Amino acid sequence: MSTSGYAVELQDVRKSFGKTEIIRGANLAVRSGERVAVIGPNGAGKSTLFNLVSGRFGPTSGQILLNGERIDGMVPYEINRRGLARSFQITNIFGHLSVFENLRCGLLWSMGYRYAFWKFLASLTDANERSEQLLRMIRLERKRDTLAMNLTYAEQRALEIGVTIAGGASVILLDEPTAGMSKSETARFIDLIREVTVGKTLLTVEHDMGVVFGLADKIAVLVYGEVIAFDTPDAVRANPRVQEAYLGSVLADAQVDGAARPTH
Amino acid sequence: MSTGVARAPIVAQGRPLPGRRVLVWGGFALVFAIAPMIFRSDFSVSILSQVAIAIVACLSYNMLLGQGGMLSFGHAVYSGLGTFVAVHAMLAIANGTLPVPTSLIPFVGGLAGMFFAIILGYVTTKKAGTPFAMITLGLGELVTAMALMIPEFFGGEGGVSANRSAGKSFLGITYGPQIQVYYLLALYAFVSTAAMFAFTRTPLGRMLNAVRDNPERVEFIGYSTQRVRFFSFVIAGFFAGIAGGMAALNFEIATAEVVGAGRSGLYLFFTFLGGATFFFGPIIGAVLMVLGFALFSEVTKAWQLYLGLIFLFMVMYAPGGIASLIMMNVRVAKYKKLHRLWGWYAGLVAASLVMLVGAAALIEMVYHLQLGGAGEPTLGYLGVTLDTTSAVSWIGAAVVFAIGFVALEATRRRFALAWGAIQTEIESDMMFKEPSPVDVPADLPEHGAAASAEAGKP
């Protein structure tokens, strides 16, 4: 583990697209094992922030560190190999492969099989056992051999999480994992996320305030490309600056959502 | 595999039983072994040899197209350069400078194909999608131009020829008689097919499918899509080179056209026709390619035009190729509903034949008018005499075509409804029975699309 003790660190990160600056000097330091929800109004740059950390884009300036190592400027697979995995807002799986194959693809690199074309997949006992285990974790045993594109939406979201965690990354970024789900599906899904990310550092973008206050140890509030608050849920709720900028209107909803949320 | 049985143990899931696998591969080997005993003429054996070559070429092409989603317009570069290098190797064997048995010539071609795939593929696989296709097209043109610019290696217009029986004979095998060549080519075809099938079951092979389905996601699970494409491209180049080396041994000559865009187009055409979504599809395509050239071209001079029409129809009505048509019907048969379709198939075939007779009459008359005939206005066609100067012939042919077309379209529409109903029944059967893993993927073009559209709804 790094000397700083932080799993993910952003230091004055900026990102511009043309003349438009989307991320304007974001600072964030997430300790190992923390669950952090990133919230903020639409267009605040939440997805962009995730794209920067996961390497989809490089930042215009500033530093991003993963376990103390600089990762800004690295391509996604290099960052992934260093222990950071992400899911996508729009379901992003391998449609023509079965559920089992999807999961196995997710862990082949991490188990050291790389580009091997001299080994049969069927003989990779460790990879196969781990894939079966993941299958049970995301509760899709019955859909093992179904093609991913033929799953229901909720199942595809679960598989998306499964593929994300498959490689055993210690830092997991989930971009709106419950987007488009019904209330009851969301509740079950949050339990699933909690289970499969035990012991990991979790960053999640989430709009559902019930989910946010239920899942997160800490909340980062992103407004106009800046992190204006980063604290425990209660402290963030009480923060006048946050209320003014963003939370005032959504907090009322949170009370309602919170009631529907399962206690754990 | 039967349906309704309790779920098989984990190890057997999703894979054919070992016995079945032995049966399939044993049958495949047997076909290679006994085919020349059934079709004995020199012509037949020559055709069979070409089939063996085409199988390797089309399967290697499908590693790119079907398994990797890479649309290459320049695959003949690798098979063709394999042919050239192999012919030069045969010349070297003949003059004693290369101490390699003639049996290894296809392998030499493979190494050559791999070598050029490493050099050219490094550039090509930097890109995917349309840029990839464009680069392959450009490289194909480049190599074709080179072939004419460097006659020392490519032999100019006449090409390079060699003698396959110039090497030392081994156990009486001189490769003089075509049958000896056939069995060597059949062996290469069988081993190459098995190796390429094995590739689909390896980590790289599976990641190639993943890159095809969703390249972006692959980057976020630790893999470089470029590397996956590059390594696969090199392996495909190796097998293309083997096909090229086999061709060198078979034809004993290499001309510039073997690296040309026309040849690359044929690989694409017949791989697609056979079916790129299934491993065995290109084998069907390869057989059709050789038969098309050898037999169809005897029947009519306009055969390439018919080929174009067939391709058009396949793209429109069966984009999964012949293999997917077969597998869709196998699925229907598994659920014991195939008997309901026989009537429809008979109707479709009958209507298609009528349309084909009309269309072919028109095509033949046009062709006769433009190219053939030598001033003679009449031509024999299916036992009747057509006269290109008579309106009756033209109108008659057009009417037959129109009747066939209307009948086919009417039948096709009703058939589509019946087919859809059966698919719905099968899907509901599957829901209730929770069948054992069916080997046939349900990713049939139309229904797969419908299912994923449904799944897209939150």
Interface of A with B in 178-217 (CB under 8 A): 180-182
pLDDT at residue B441, as a whole number: 44
Distance between CA atoms of residues A104 and B192, nearest Å: 27
Nearest CA to B445 among B324, B278, B271?
A: B324
- Domain B15-299, CATH among 3.40.50, 1.10.10, 1.10.3470, 1.10.540: 1.10.3470
In this structure, are residues B203 and A121 in contact, taking their beta carbons and an 8 Å threshold? yes
Using alpha carbons, list the distances in angstroms from residue A211 to A48, A109, A174, A263.
21, 32, 13, 11
Most distant CA pair in chain B, distance: 73
Angle among Cα B119, B282, B295 to the nearest 5 degrees reads: 110
Interface test with B, best of A50, A100, A111, A115 (most B CBs within 10 A): A115
Angle among Cα B9, A123, A199 to the nearest 5 degrees reads: 85
Angle among Cα B305, B308, B314 to the nearest 5 degrees reads: 145
- Domain ranges in chain B are 15-299, 330-448
Does residue B200 register a pLDDT over 70? yes
pLDDT at residue B456, as a whole number: 35
> pLDDT grade, residue A251 (50/70/90)?
low
**What mean pLDDT comes out for the span B126-144?**
96
The β-bridge partners of A63 are: A11
Q: Give B320's Cβ-side CA count (13 Å radius).
A: 20
Distance between CA atoms of residues B272 and B307, nearest Å: 13
> pLDDT grade, residue A257 (50/70/90)?
very low
pLDDT at residue B19, as a whole number: 85
Give me the residue from B198, B202, B456 closest to A116, CB to CB: B202
pLDDT at residue B433, as a whole number: 62
User: A169-212, pLDDT tens digit by residue?
Assistant: 999 999 999 888 888 889 889 999 999 999 999 999 988 888 88
Say yes or no for a CB contact (<8 Å) between A153 and B206.
Answer: no
In this structure, are residues A57 and A51 in contact, taking their beta carbons and an 8 Å threshold? yes
In this structure, are residues A205 and A38 in contact, taking their beta carbons and an 8 Å threshold? yes
Using alpha carbons, list the distances in angstroms from residue A253 to A39, A179, A209, A236, A260.
14, 16, 7, 16, 11
**What mean pLDDT comes out for the span B73-100?**
96
Indicate the pairing of strand B160-161 with strand B253-254. Answer: antiparallel
Report ipTM (2 d.p.): 0.92
Interface test with A, best of B65, B220, B324, B444 (most A CBs within 10 A): B220
Q: Looking at B96-196, which runs of residues are DSSP E strands?
A: 160-161
Question: What crossing angle do the helices spanning B261-274 and B321-334 adopt, rounded to 10°?
Answer: 10
Task: Give residue for tokens 């140890």.
Answer: A217
Give me the residue from A113, A150, A167 closest to B221, CB to CB: A167
Interface test with B, best of A57, A82, A94 (most B CBs within 10 A): A94
b vs e for B67-76, b when ≥16 Cβ sit within 10 Å of the residue's Cβ? bbbbbbbbbb
Q: State which H helix or E strand residue B314 sits in.
A: helix B303-317
For residue A133, what is the nearest residue in chain B, using CA coordinates?
B10
The C-alpha R_g of chain A, in whole angstroms, comes to: 19
> For the range B279-282, what are the long-range contacts, defined as Cβ-Cβ under 8 Å and sequence gap of 24 or more?
B279/B59, B279/B62, B279/B66, B279/B196, B279/B197, B279/B200, B280/B323, B281/B62, B281/B66, B281/B321, B281/B322, B281/B323, B281/B324, B282/B55, B282/B58, B282/B59, B282/B61, B282/B62, B282/B66
Residue B31 has which token pair? 């076909």
The chain-wide mean pLDDT, for chain B, equals 88
**What mean pLDDT comes out for the span B294-300?**
81
State in Å, rounded, how far the first CA of chain A is from the last one: 30
**What mean pLDDT comes out for the span B444-458?**
36
Q: Please name the residues in contact with B164: beta carbons below 8 A apart, sequence gap of 6 or more.
A: B90, B102, B105, B175, B176, B181, B249, B252
In this structure, are residues A210 and A240 in contact, taking their beta carbons and an 8 Å threshold? no
Residue positions counted in chain B: 458
Contacts of B15 in chain A (CB under 8 A): 122
Distance between CA atoms of residues A64 and A85, nearest Å: 15
In this structure, are residues B103 and B184 in contact, taking their beta carbons and an 8 Å threshold? yes
| Helices then strands, each counted (H, E), chain B | 18, 4
Give me the residue from A94, A110, A182 closest to B214, CB to CB: A94
In this structure, are residues B82 and B105 in contact, taking their beta carbons and an 8 Å threshold? no
Contacts of B231 in chain A (CB under 8 A): 115, 117
Q: What percent of chain B has pLDDT over 90?
A: 69
Give me the residue from B14, B235, B457 closest to A98, CB to CB: B14
Distance between CA atoms of residues A28 and B26, nearest Å: 63
User: B345-401, pLDDT tens digit by residue?
Assistant: 999 999 999 999 999 899 888 888 887 666 677 888 878 888 888 888 899 999 999
Helix (H, G, I), strand (E, B) or coil at A82: coil
Does residue B32 register a pLDDT over 60? yes
Say yes or no for a CB contact (<8 Å) between A117 and B448.
Answer: no
φ/ψ (deg, to 5) at B454: -65, -45
Indicate the pairing of strand A218-223 with strand A201-205. Answer: unpaired
Residue B156 has which token pair? 């100019």
Nearest CA to B356 among B315, B390, B313?
A: B313
> Given CB atoms, is A153 within the 8 Å cutoff of chain B?
yes
Which amino acid would we find at residue B52?
A
User: A39-96, pLDDT tens digit by residue?
Assistant: 998 889 999 999 999 999 999 999 999 999 999 999 999 999 999 999 998 889 999 9
Q: Pick the more confident residue, B334 or A246.
A: B334
What's the pTM value of the predicted model, to 2 decimals? 0.89
User: B138-153, pLDDT tens digit by residue?
Assistant: 999 999 999 989 999 9
> pLDDT grade, residue B7 (50/70/90)?
very low
Q: Which of B16-25, B193-202, B213-222 has the lowest mean pLDDT?
A: B16-25
Does residue A241 register a pLDDT over 90? no
Indicate the pairing of strand A61-66 with strand A6-17. Answer: antiparallel
Does residue A248 register a pLDDT over 70? no
Say yes or no for a CB contact (<8 Å) between A76 and B219.
Answer: yes
In this structure, are residues B289 and B270 in contact, taking their beta carbons and an 8 Å threshold? yes
In this structure, are residues A45 and A220 in contact, taking their beta carbons and an 8 Å threshold? no
Which amino acid would we find at residue B217?
R
Nearest CA to A117 among B284, B376, B206, B14?
A: B206
In this structure, are residues B455 and A152 in contact, taking their beta carbons and an 8 Å threshold? yes
pLDDT at residue B52, as a whole number: 98
Say yes or no for a CB contact (<8 Å) between A108 and B203.
Answer: yes
> pLDDT grade, residue B303 (50/70/90)?
confident
Label each residue of A188-203 as H, E or C: HHHHHHHHHCCCCEEE
Say yes or no for a CB contact (<8 Å) between B204 and A96.
Answer: no
Distance between CA atoms of residues B268 and B75, nearest Å: 9
Distance between CA atoms of residues B369 and A141, nearest Å: 66
User: A14-44, pLDDT tens digit by residue?
Assistant: 999 999 999 999 999 999 999 999 999 888 9
